[in-house]
Amino acid sequence: MIQSVIAIIQARMGSTRLPGKVMLPLADDHVLTHDVRRVSAANHVDDVVVATSKQTADDIVARYATRAGANTHRGSESDVLGRMYDAARNADADIVVRITGDCPLVDPDTIDEVVSRVVDSDTEYAANITERTFPRGLDVEAFTFESFERVHEEATEPHHREHVTPYYREESDRFVTESVVSADVFDDPQFQNRDDLRLTLDEADDYEVLREIYENVPFDDILLTREAIRYADENDLMSLNAAVEQKTH
């Protein structure tokens, strides 16, 4: 049976720490455009949807998502789980891939590895965040729509609705889950167990790291994640955002 794999990118303008971050420029494009392009490059992804809110401020997110080649879905600003669920349902997803819009170096190979755990087995939820071995900013989760329906109905706590997937991990005994680690994707030890790296976009210091990478690492359509890590290591870029505190979900 062929299963439809839909990647949904959460993106909006109203970030509390760095408002408008998904529309910040990187090289000749915006963060959101890089997000869409990189997720679309994953072999196991059939379609990409950008899920944003109905707020007027997010009109630009919907517009540039379309320009980048993604479909769009607009829903609640606060009930992100509900927004994601409606986006997945409207796209007729069998398997949902969750990506956040602050990850302009998300790795297509990592997406494929995580998705394969769900496609090729009875796993209901697979992720590379359960055990932290990847850099921040390479986060990927994949889950069956059938299990997501249960989460949508049962997850009622505010943090469940805001962060979408904690219910899977908090109630892991109720789901078939699997964890992907960096050694499953990267052969070179330089790229394994790199939870010391911040390649995500939460604050201005993070943007400086990403801007340095995108301005100095040569690439065509997609800047290779491996090359980004090499450049960050060689130029001590983590000193730029070392003071940024990661929000916990």
Q: Would you say residue 135 lies in a domain?
A: yes
At 139 the pLDDT is 98
Q: Would you say residue 189 lies in a domain?
A: yes
> How many angstroms separate the Cα of 220 from the Cα of each of 84, 106, 137, 180, 217?
31, 16, 20, 28, 10
Q: Would you say residue 203 lies in a domain?
A: no
At 1 the pLDDT is 66
Structure tokens at 204: 């201005």
Is 216 buried (19+), middle (13-18) or exposed (0-12) by CB count in 10 A?
exposed
SS3 235: coil
**How many other C-beta atoms lie within 10 A of the C-beta of residue 222?**
14
Q: Would you say residue 215 lies in a domain?
A: no
Q: What is the distance between the alpha carbons of residues 56 and 166, in angstroms, rounded to a whole number?
A: 29
Q: Would you say residue 137 lies in a domain?
A: yes
Local confidence pLDDT in tens for the 249 residues of the chain = 679 999 999 999 998 889 999 999 999 999 999 999 999 999 999 999 999 999 999 999 999 999 999 999 999 999 999 999 999 999 999 999 999 999 999 999 999 999 999 998 999 999 999 999 999 999 999 999 999 999 999 999 999 999 999 999 999 999 999 999 999 999 999 999 999 999 999 999 999 999 999 999 999 999 999 999 999 999 999 999 999 987 665
Which residue range(s) make up the domain with 27? 5-195
Domain CATH code at residue 76: 3.90.550.10
Q: Would you say residue 202 lies in a domain?
A: no
Q: Would you say residue 128 lies in a domain?
A: yes
At 245 the pLDDT is 81
At 2 the pLDDT is 76
Q: Would you say residue 110 lies in a domain?
A: yes
At 16 the pLDDT is 83
User: Which CB contacts under 8 angstroms, 24+ apart, belong to 190-193?
Assistant: 190/229, 190/230, 190/233, 191/225, 191/226, 191/229, 192/133, 193/133
**Total domain count for the chain?**
1
**Extended strands (E) in 130-246:** 141-144, 177-179
At 45 the pLDDT is 98
Q: What does DSSP say about strands 71-75 and 95-100: parallel, antiparallel, or unpaired?
A: unpaired
Which of 208, 209, 204 has the alpha carbon at shortest distance from 229?
209
137 Cβ contact partners less than 8 Å away, ≥ 6 residues apart: 102, 103, 104, 105, 106, 197, 198, 199, 200, 201
Q: What are phi and psi of 126, to 5 degrees?
A: -130, 145
At 15 the pLDDT is 85
At 171 the pLDDT is 96
Q: What is the distance between the alpha carbons of residues 96 and 165, in angstroms, rounded to a whole number?
A: 12
